[in-house]
C-alpha cells in the first residue's frame, strides 16, 4: 500500500501485525458520521457521545461513577498503518509519525480524555471525543491524574 503518498512521505513495508491481538469491548456512538465532520480533537464542551459496552464487559463499569474523567482507548479502523514520515500540511515538509498525533500510525490506537456525564446500564455518556461514529472501543479507565489522588501508595500486587 504505497499509493497516495504526499511529497516526501515515506511508507514502509513491515511484517504483518501478529505480535498481539485485541478484542473490542464495544463501540462508540458519536455525531461524527464522516471523517470530514470529525473535529481535530475532542473538546470538553463537545457533544455527548456514548461508549456502548458489549457483553460480558458491561459489569466492568461498576465503580466508574465515582470518577469525573476517564481515558478512552479506541481503534482507528479506517487508518492506514505504513507511513513512517508524513506531511500534515501537504507542503513537502515531513515529520516522523511519533512526533504527530495523526490517526495514521503503525498501531492506530486513539486516546482521549473524556468527562463522564452519566452511566446508563451498559452505556457511558461522555464529552470530549473526536472519533467517527461506530469506532471500536478498546479500553476505558479512570483518568490518571484523578486516580492518583484517590489511590493508596502501593496496593497488593496482582499476579498475572
User: Quick one: 48 or 138, whose CB is closer to a copy of itself?
Assistant: 138
Grid coordinates given for 117: 456525564
**Residues 77 to 96 in contact with a copy of itself, rule: CB under 8 A:** 77-81, 84-86, 88-90, 94-96
Going residue by residue from 7 to 26, which x/- string records binding to a copy of itself, judged by CB under 8 A? Answer: ---x-xxxxxxxxxxxxxx-
Interface with a copy of itself, residue 37, by CB under 8 A: no
Instruction: Please measure the distance between the N-terminal and C-terminal CA atoms of the chain and give it in whole angstroms.
Output: 38
Look at residue 110 and give its three-state secondary structure.
Answer: strand
Grid coordinates given for 15: 511484517
Interface with a copy of itself, residue 31, by CB under 8 A: no
Q: How many residues bind a copy of itself (CB under 8 A)?
A: 81
Give me the least distance between CB of 25 and a copy of itself, in Å please.
Answer: 5
Burial of 17 (0-12, 13-18, 19+ CB in 10 A): exposed
Interface with a copy of itself, residue 106, by CB under 8 A: yes
Distances (CA, A) of 77 to 20, 48, 112, 156: 16, 21, 16, 37
CB 147 within 8 A of CB 101: no
Interface with a copy of itself, residue 157, by CB under 8 A: yes
User: Quick one: 99 or 120, whose CB is closer to a copy of itself?
Assistant: 99
Amino acid at each position: 500500500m504505497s499509493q497516495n503518498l504526499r511529497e516526501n512521505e515515506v511508507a514502509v513495508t513491515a511484517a504483518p501485525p501478529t505480535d498481539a491481538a485485541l478484542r473490542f469491548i464495544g463501540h462508540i456512538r458519536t455525531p461524527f458520521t464522516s471523517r470530514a465532520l470529525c473535529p481535530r480533537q475532542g473538546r470538553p464542551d463537545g457533544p455527548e457521545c456514548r461508549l456502548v459496552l458489549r457483553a460480558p464487559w458491561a459489569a466492568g463499569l461498576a465503580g466508574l461513577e465515582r470518577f469525573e474523567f476517564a481515558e478512552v482507548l479506541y481503534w482507528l479502523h479506517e487508518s492506514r498503518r505504513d507511513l513512517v514520515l508524513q506531511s500534515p500540511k501537504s507542503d513537502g515538509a515531513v515529520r516522523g509519525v511519533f512526533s504527530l498525533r495523526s490517526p495514521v500510525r503503525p498501531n492506530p490506537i486513539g486516546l482521549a480524555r473524556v468527562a463522564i456525564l452519566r452511566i446508563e446500564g451498559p452505556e457511558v455518556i461522555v464529552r470530549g471525543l473526536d472519533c467517527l461514529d461506530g469506532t471500536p472501543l478498546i479500553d476505558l479507565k479512570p483518568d490518571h491524574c484523578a486516580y492518583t489522588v484517590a489511590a493508596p501508595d502501593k496496593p497488593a500486587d496482582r499476579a498475572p
